[in-house]
Amino acid sequence: MKVSVLTVTYGDRFKYLKQVIDTCLKESGIYEFIVIDNASLNKEKIEEELLKYPDKKIKYIRLEKNTGSAGGYSKGIEYFYKSEANFLIMFDDDNKPEDNFLEKYKEEYQNISKQKGKITLTGYRKNLLASENELREYKEFSRNSFFGFDIFDKNILKKIYKNFINKNYKEKKVWLDFYQTNYFAYGSTMVSKEMVEKIGFPNKNFFIYSDDLDFSMRAKKIGYSFYISPYLIIEDLHLTYNDHYPHFFFANNTKNYQIFLSIRNSIIATKMNNSHNRFLFILNIIFYFFGILVLVSLRRKFLFKKTDLERFNLILRAIKSGFEMDFTIPDFIGLPK
């Protein structure tokens, strides 16, 4: 197996990126180490750090405009696809793997693929609730679901309680050697060149949010399944988002662009890959946000703030944009430059 490693950075995140670089470049067996600099503020620091490793395996690519996770990973995966490597491990710039991770990834990938066929393999991001929740018995997302919500799901009451009422609720763990998931995020995931050849690169139009969902769904449609190994421990050095989507939409620190793009892009990705009944899909969206409306009403004691009403208006505009398959990024969402 010829395995390359890819990381994508942006903004002012060098203190995290440096730890990822230091860990990855201890691995002598890496075919290439690819760093995509998505118009970060740390060009000189990154170049200086990489010069400490006089190794031709390092490939540094600077993008002069921030193209989001979709554009950054698309560029990196395209570079990998044109190389001689046949496998790629992707890390966000704050995903720090354990020492000697390369051989562990190879061993786990080979073991699981022998049993399950065409797969992707993701590490266990130990301090992410989203990753923690994957260590459960596998439940297939139903078609037409929205953020995994489906009113016809037999476990719908449990999901409402877990996601809308008690955000600290945790299901009982099922201890296995590996766990199947419905989709994969880029960070800590290992993919094959064979898969990339068949599905192409991430869709740059998504910019951020659901670009990895779309990438996963395209792989799923051609027979790939996705697994997490609890033996591949990944530390997230910086947690940048809220794991609880219903609460995320009305949290004080949630930005307008995060709300708009997460909703719009999820709708577009589902319409492109997983929805086969428009009526049921719309119904799930309505009930999902109705649940949020009830939750917010109870918490506010039916005394809505002006910002709550602005958020609901933003949600409606995101839904409309999603159904129109409109990838335009409007100025009113306040996307950072």
pLDDT at 246 over 60: no
CATH number, domain 3-135+176-236, options 3.90.550.10, 1.10.10.10, 3.40.1010.10, 3.40.309.10? 3.90.550.10
The pLDDT value recorded for residue 147 is: 84
Domain ranges for the chain, please list them. Answer: 3-135+176-236, 245-333
Sorting pLDDT into bands at 50, 70 and 90, what band is 210? very high
Interval 20-46 mean pLDDT: 92
Rounded Cα distance, 196 and 25, in Å: 24
The better pLDDT of the pair 299, 229 is held by 229
pLDDT at 266 over 60: yes
pLDDT at 117 over 90: yes
The pLDDT value recorded for residue 213 is: 94
Sorting pLDDT into bands at 50, 70 and 90, what band is 51? confident
Structural element, H or E, at residue 5: strand 3-9
Terminus-to-terminus CA distance in the chain, angstroms? 40
User: pLDDT digits over 147-196, tens only?
Assistant: 888 888 777 676 666 655 555 555 555 667 899 999 999 999 999 999 99
Please state the φ and ψ torsions of residue 52, each to the nearest 5 degrees: -70, -15
Interval 49-72 mean pLDDT: 90
pLDDT at 243 over 50: no
**Per mean pLDDT, which range of 84-88, 116-120, 302-306 is the poorest?**
302-306
Rounded Cα distance, 77 and 59, in Å: 12
Please choose, from the candidates 226, 266, 254, the residue with its C-alpha nearest in 3D space to the C-alpha of residue 112. 226
